[in-house]
A and B are shown apart, each in its own frame.
Chain A
Amino acid sequence: MPKKLYNEPSPLETRILSKRFGLENSESLATYLANDGFKAFRKAREMKPEEIIEEVKTSALRGRGGAGFPTGLKWSFVPRSSPKPKYIVINADESEPGTCKDRLLMEYDPHQMIEGILIAGLAMDAHKGYIYIRGEYRYLIDHMDRALAEAYSQGYLGKNILGTGFDFDLYTHSGAGAYECGEETALLDSLEGKRGVPRMKPPFPAVAGAWASPTLLNNVETFSAIPAIIRDGGAAFAALGTPKNGGTRLLCVSGHVNKPGVYEVPLGYPMMKFINEIAGGIPGGKKLKAVIPGGSSCPILKADECDIPMDYDSLAKIGSMLGSGGMVVMDETTDMVKVALRIMRFYAHESCGWCIPCREGTTWLRKILQRFDDGGGRHDDIGLLGELSKNMLGRTFCALGDAAAMPTISIVEKFAEDFEKRLARDRQMVAV
């Protein structure tokens, strides 16, 4: 029996990474092999490492974890000739609010990711990899462990993989609840058994990552895209998207839509078409108010800004980000004070406390927003929220400070009206 999917696929999708979702036993190695599995690895085995990296560069694949850094370039930074062991680390700490795609890639098609990791291993001359999975995804850790055991038992992992002489060991590693561990250097500290606190960069993980060795760190979806790129060629993958924004990606849509779900579309897909046709539009005939395009760290968009193609550069042009693909849709009834407060409660909770602008900034912003929501708002607060946030931008050790500041700045600037309305309501209540 094919596994029931979390949401119905849409006929408008372009399913490259998710093409096996919904197949009978899609998570099994047998299904993977019967549907193009390990063709890319066999091909990569005949390629020179530089050729593999060149193919990834040609694909214009950009990191799917959030930052959107060109993957091929990142791969080229790892010094293959280093005498130190090299490691591959897979970021499966999926915890950016609004994001739930890596779960599906691991649950429905774990061997696709494993194949992507092996190809990276060939390119880096790495022989060990660690899949860092958030602790809340325990069922997926068990699921991945089963997939790894299956791959080992059939010679797709371990010594002399498929008789090629290439060895690779892959392990799962459980997190224990910390958003900050999605930041790559914090993740590495966590992998080393410490508190997940970000490291000073440089050196970048490519040079000194896990256990001070050269380390390639990519998101689950990034690795999952590799087999298609090597199998069908980087150019074919690139052609699916827009210039410098290759391929397809999984978008997770949540909030006020009729068909929330995870859908795969080419980069550059029109946002409004995505919301109205794939995600089924807004329930109850209500109007669109705002969209968080790629996880709660991304600056919010007003309805009239949403008529754009969804790729990294188009979003950057209007001051936001495609991020991790977690799109949150809000209808006209949404109270932006509550949205800003909930977002800030999250960042204040998740700030690791290592650097002061983030630790204190998120705490003060949370307190001001809480007071505002409780009816104790002051007119100066609106400006103060923006000013405090701007003072955090670029002044924190890692991107968490920016992640907290950016949505806040955009909410108070674009939806000041919601804050003004609250003040008017509070005044009325005092008058009564």
Chain B
Amino acid sequence: MMTFSPQLEQKFAKMLTAYPEGKKRSAVVPMLIYAQDEVGSITPELIDEVARRCEVTPLQVDEVVGYYSMLHRKPMGKFHVQVCTNISCLLVGGMELYEHACKKLGISHKQVTADGQISLEEVECMGACSWAPAVEINYDFHHHVTPEKLDQLIDGLRKAQ
């Protein structure tokens, strides 16, 4: 059995009452993503735990994990840098920004720096099209990002370690 932080336990307790009687399975996806934020990745133990809490089989949780792009079986960095290269960002330098991030960090898509601190992902549209190019670091949006601004953001993350 796994336990989470008191805040998360509170969130999960409330979450399980949000759905109709007997429909705890509905909490699978939100529970996975919130738990991943705390645990670091979707581990086999986490799958078992979510299955237990949502009253489904571990397989029913496992099959969901592979479907959603934000769920990772391996840990990403402490700071997950997501650069959008979809159409609106592409037109205003999103691809160049992503290539710049690869060079700057010395890693590429879904890789993590050797110290485990920063990971990079080329992502699909994340709803910042009118303020492109956009980058999301963990859950923080950054708009109108230039290579210089990205350097500053990444340098800031390194200092924050």
* Stretch of B100-108, B110-118, B120-128, B150-158 lying at the A interface: B120-128
- A342 touching B63, Cβ below 8 Å: no
A270 to B70 CA separation, bound complex (whole angstroms): 39
Which residues on A sit within 8 Å (CB–CB) of B8? none
Do most interface residues of chain A lie in helix, strand or loop, or is the interface mixed?
A: mixed
A255-B125 in contact given A193-B54, A195-B67, A339-B87 (Cβ < 8 Å):
no
> CB-CB < 8 A to A53: which residues of B?
none
Question: Contacts A173-B30, A346-B125, A349-B124 known; A296 to B87 CB distance under 8 Å?
Answer: yes
Residue in B26, B27, B129 whose beta carbon sits within 8 Å of that of A100 in the complex? B129
B129 touches A97 (CB 8 A): yes
User: Does B149 lie at the interface of the complex (its beta carbon under 8 Å from any beta carbon of A)?
Assistant: no
Give the CA-CA distance A12 to B23 in the complex, in Å.
48
Q: Is the CB of A192 within 8 A of B25?
A: yes
Is the pair A254, B88 in contact by a Cβ cutoff of 8 Å? yes
Query: Is A338 among interface residues, defined by CB-CB distance under 8 A?
Result: yes
Instruction: Tell me the nearest residue of chain A to B143, going by C-beta.
Output: A6
> Smallest distance from the beta carbon of A85 to chain B beta carbons, Å?
7
Q: How far, in Å, is A7 (CB) from chain B's closest CB?
A: 6
Is residue B46 contacting chain A, with contact meaning CB distance below 8 A? no
Judging by beta carbons under 8 Å apart, are B29 and A171 in contact? no
Contact residues in B for A99 (Cβ distance below 8 Å): 125, 127, 129
B138 to A, closest residue via Cβ: A138
Residue of B nearest to A138 (CB): B139
Cross-chain contact of A178 among B68, B87, B88, B143 (Cβ < 8 A): B68
Closest chain-B Cβ to A338's Cβ sits at a distance in Å of: 7
* Distance of A253 Cα from B132 Cα, bound (Å): 11
- Are B130 and A260 touching (Cβ within 8 A)? yes
Given the complex of chains A and B, what is the CA–CA distance between A138 and B87 in angstroms? 23
A407 to B43 Cα, complex, angstroms:
39
Using CB atoms, name the residue of chain A closest to B84: A97
B148 within 8 A of A: no
Q: Report how far A326 CA is from B89 CA in the complex, Å.
A: 13
Q: Write the nearest CB–CB distance from B145 to chain A, whole angstroms.
A: 14
Which residue of the partner chain, among B20, B23, B87, contacts A342 with CB atoms under 8 Å? Answer: B87
Choose among A85, A192, A193, A256 the residue with the greatest number of B CB atoms under 10 Å from its CB.
Answer: A193
A95-B127, A176-B32 are known contacts. Are A195 and B64 too (CB-CB below 8 A)? yes
Q: Is the beta-carbon distance between B91 and A253 smaller than 8 angstroms? A: no
Nearest-CB distance from A256 to chain B (Å)?
A: 6
Size of the A side of the interface (Cβ < 8 Å), in residues, is 58
B38: chain A residues at CB < 8 Å are none
Bound together, the chains give a CA A174 to CA B29 distance in angstroms of 7
Query: CA–CA, A262 to B131, complex, Å?
Result: 9
Q: Does B141 contact A (CB under 8 A)?
A: yes
Asked if B90 is an interface residue, CB under 8 A from chain A, the answer is yes
Question: Knowing A174-B29, A174-B33, A178-B69 touch, does A211 contact B20 (C-beta < 8 A)?
Answer: yes
> What's the nearest-Cβ distance from chain A to residue B37, in Å?
9
> Does B99 reach chain A (CB closer than 8 Å)?
no
Distance from B144 Cβ to chain A, minimum over Cβ atoms (Å): 9
A276 sits at the interface (CB 8 A) = no
- Are A330 and B70 in touch, CB under 8 angstroms? no
For residue B29, which residues in chain A have a CB less than 8 angstroms away from its CB?
A: 173-176, 190, 193
Given the contacts A175-B29, A176-B33, A192-B26, A100 and B87 also touching, CB distance less than 8 Å: no
* Nearest CB on A from B94, distance (A): 9
Provided the pairs A85-B20, A95-B127, A103-B127 are in contact, do residues A334 and B68 lie with their beta carbons within 8 angstroms? no
B32 and A6 form a contact (CB under 8 A): no
| Chain B positions within 8 Å of A194 at CB level | 25, 28, 60, 64
Q: Does B119 contact A (CB under 8 A)?
A: no
Residue B49 at the chain A interface, CB threshold 8 Å: no
Determine if A137 is an interface residue (Cβ-Cβ < 8 Å). Answer: yes
Return chain A residues, CB-CB under 8 Å to B86.
97, 296, 342, 346
Rounded to whole Å, the gap between the CB of A365 and the closest CB of chain B is 16
A252 on interface, CB distance cutoff 8 Å: yes
Closest 9 interchain pairs by CB?
A177-B70, A193-B28, A176-B68, A177-B69, A254-B88, A193-B25, A138-B139, A97-B125, A254-B129
* Chain B residues near A (Cβ < 8 Å): 18, 20, 23, 25-30, 32-34, 54, 56, 60, 63-64, 67-71, 85-88, 90-92, 124-132, 136, 139-141, 143
**Can you name 6 A-B pairs with beta carbons within 8 Å?**
A175-B29, A175-B68, A178-B68, A179-B124, A254-B130, A261-B131
